[in-house]
Amino acid sequence: MTVLTRLSRSWTQLSASERREALAGYLFISPWIVGFVVFFFGPIVASFVLSFTRWNIVGSPQWVGLSNYERIFTQDPFFRKAVTVTLKYAVLYLPLEVVFGILIAVVLNQKLRGIGVFRTLYYMPYIVPKVASSLVWVWVLNPRYGLLNTMLSWFGINGPSWLSDPDWVLPSIVMMALWGVGGSAVIYLAGLQNVPAQLYEAAAVDGANRLQQFVSITLPMLTPTIFFQLVLGLIGTFQTFTPAFIAAGRSGGPLQSGLFYMLYIYNRSFESMRMGYGAALAWIMTVFIMILTVLVFRSSKYWVYYEAERKRTT
Per-residue pLDDT tens, the chain, 314 aa: give them.
455 555 455 666 767 777 788 888 889 999 999 999 999 999 999 999 999 999 988 888 999 999 999 999 999 999 999 999 999 999 999 999 999 999 999 999 888 888 888 888 889 988 889 899 999 999 999 988 899 999 999 998 888 999 989 999 999 999 999 999 999 999 999 999 888 888 888 988 888 888 899 988 889 999 999 999 999 999 999 999 999 999 888 888 888 899 999 999 999 999 989 999 999 999 999 999 999 999 999 998 888 887 655 555 55
Please state the domain extents for the chain: 3-50, 75-313
> From the DSSP assignment, how many helices (H) and strands (E) are in the chain?
17, 2
By C-alpha distance, which of 138, 134, 181 is closest to 162? 138
Q: List phi, psi (to 5°) of 105.
A: -65, -40
- What crossing angle do the helices spanning 166-178 and 77-108 adopt, rounded to 10°? 40
Q: Could you tell me the pTM of the whole model?
A: 0.86
Say what the alpha-carbon torsion angle 188, 192, 193, 194 is, to the nearest 10 degrees. 100
Q: What CA–CA distance (Å, rounded) separates 160 from 157?
A: 9
Predicted local distance difference test score (pLDDT) of residue 1: 47
Burial of 26 per CB tally in 10 Å (0-12, 13-18, 19+): exposed
Q: Which CATH architecture has domain 75-313?
A: Orthogonal Bundle (1.10)
